[in-house]
Amino acid sequence: MATEVATPRTKDLPQRVGRFTTGWKLFTVAGLVVLAFAIFAYVRELGSGMIATGMRNVGTMGGATWGLYITMVVYFVGVSFAGITVAALIRIFELGKLRPIARTAELLTVVALILGAIAIIVDLGQPIRGIVNLFRYARPQSPFFGTFALVIAGYLFASLVYLYLGGRRDAAAMAHYPSRLRGFYRWWAAGYMDTPEEQARHRRTSFWLAVAIVPLLVIAHSTLGFVFGLQVGRPGWYGTLQAPAFVALAGVSGVGLIIVLGAIVKRIVGDTERVSVDVFSWLGKFLLGLLLVYLYFMTVELLTLLYATPAVEKQLSDALLFGPYAWTYWGSVALLAVPALVLIWQAVTRRWNIGWLVASGVAVNLAAIGKRYLIVVPSQTHGTLLPYEVGSYSPSWIEYGVVLGLFALGALMIGLFVKIFPPLPLSDEEVMADA
């Protein structure tokens, strides 16, 4: 049979594509178990209503009506920022040595946006109606519209096109290897032959798409900031700094995650040369730059809060800095400041260590989740303009379960992708090897 001949050859695909090892299978099973638990939790939530979550009404009910789900929406959409930014910068400024990381970055953007979209849907009281009515009765005047139309639709679509276009050359090359995935590669390549003419057109398209996508993503992340920043009725939200600070923290968490993902891909592919320390040092410097911008925003905000605070804002800032949210606040600050110092040290000594970079990437992502939580929740429990008693919010196991499931889904998507498509652009030898 033809497949029996082809199957052993599948092992020869470059970058260990198609090699479903025991470790990979264990990872997938673990991911599926977590995902199944999340689906179970969400079905419970659908059945009983959102009373199953820890969220309650603001005001007389003393709760927070947006909780962990919206925190994760903001976090995931934030993460998506960096992937496409890095990929676009590589094209616009022709950063050749960073090219190996481009596909990983694009993949991260696509996955993060899908997770962000799911997180929005699970937060809706009427999810099915939401999917229909958000398009049917769309109102551009609502800041939420930007999150749906720009971020989820426009931005996700543009990122998918980017990932697709960027992969055509490799798909064409992969189709030359005999494997069970040949049909998939042919479909992806869609007739691409890698002639000089095609290469030139390809480069041109990618360049202009990159030029178009950078303003789109700044607008998209700003509208996400506007969801909060335009609300005069919520102390702690209303402010012009909200949109730019969202963009900055989005960059911090996203670049941090690219570093982590880059290191994982490096391990999976077993490639020590192409994803070199140079790539990581560039990402580290980029992360440091964004981190310093964000720390600057944060300091400015803190000084404004402490210097001359209206009474309601004071109640909120006291809760943040010294009250029930102090651990989260100062913990997040530490998880941003320490990586900043580590990165500065590495930049000064010019000795970049991938282990330290990965640790910094993980730390800034934990901090990003913390900071997003602190934007979303305290303004509801401690930020009512009428003197309601202060409220409280703690997520229920259903919310934790669903959020864990989102991470599992993301890991599964990335895990599957690297086994069916080379995560790094094929080298010339890998392309030649098809003969």
Is residue 240 a contact point for other proteins (CB under 8 A)? Answer: no
Binding letters toward other proteins, positions 99-128, x by CB under 8 A: ------------------------xxxx--
Is residue 78 a contact point for other proteins (CB under 8 A)? Answer: no
Residue in the structure block whose two tokens are 């290191």: 263
Pick from 102, 384, 396, 417 the residue near other proteins by CB under 8 A: 384
Contacts of 343 (CB under 8 A, 6+ apart): 284, 285, 287, 288, 291, 357, 360
* Residue type at position 139: R
**347-351-353-357 Cα dihedral, nearest 10 degrees:** 0
Nearer to other proteins, 233 or 331 (CB): 233
Stretch that binds other proteins, among 55-63, 191-199, 248-256, 409-417 (CB under 8 A): 55-63
Q: Which residues from 306-345 bind other proteins, rule CB under 8 A?
A: 311-312, 315
Question: Minimum distance between the CB of residue 134 and other proteins, rounded to whole angstroms?
Answer: 6
Pick from 23, 49, 191, 215 the residue near other proteins by CB under 8 A: 49
How far is Cα 198 from Cα 183, in angstroms, rounded to an integer? 21
Q: Which two three-digit tokens encode residue 166?
A: 């960027």
Binding letters toward other proteins, positions 338-377, x by CB under 8 A: ----------------------------------------
How far is Cα 36 from Cα 42, in angstroms, rounded to an integer? 10
Q: At what angle do helices 156-174 and 68-92 cross, to 10 degrees?
A: 50
Pick from 3, 22, 141, 349 the residue near other proteins by CB under 8 A: 141
How far is Cα 295 from Cα 274, in angstroms, rounded to an integer? 32
* Residue type at position 115: L
Is residue 43 a contact point for other proteins (CB under 8 A)? Answer: no
Q: Is 219 exposed, middle or buried (0-12, 13-18, 19+ CB in 10 A)?
A: middle
Q: Which residues from 176-235 bind other proteins, rule CB under 8 A?
A: 227, 231-234
Nearer to other proteins, 15 or 381 (CB): 381
Pick from 16, 56, 103, 221 the residue near other proteins by CB under 8 A: 56
The number of residues in the chain equals 435
Collapsing DSSP to helix, strand or coil, 70 comes out as helix
Is residue 153 a contact point for other proteins (CB under 8 A)? Answer: no
Is residue 415 a contact point for other proteins (CB under 8 A)? Answer: no
Pick from 386, 428, 429, 435 the residue near other proteins by CB under 8 A: 386
String of b and e for 288-298 (b: at least 16 CB within 10 Å)? bbbbebbbebb
Nearer to other proteins, 49 or 355 (CB): 49
Collapsing DSSP to helix, strand or coil, 373 comes out as helix
How far is Cα 120 from Cα 131, in angstroms, rounded to an integer? 10
Collapsing DSSP to helix, strand or coil, 366 comes out as helix
Report how many residues bind other proteins under the rule CB under 8 A.
Answer: 48
Question: Minimum distance between the CB of residue 394 and other proteins, rounded to whole angstroms?
Answer: 13
CA atoms within 13 Å, Cβ hemisphere of 137: 5
Stretch that binds other proteins, among 33-41, 130-138, 241-249, 266-274 (CB under 8 A): 130-138
**Binding site residues, other proteins, CB under 8 A:** 48-51, 55-63, 65-66, 123-126, 129-130, 133-134, 136-139, 141-145, 148, 227, 231-234, 311-312, 315, 380, 384-389
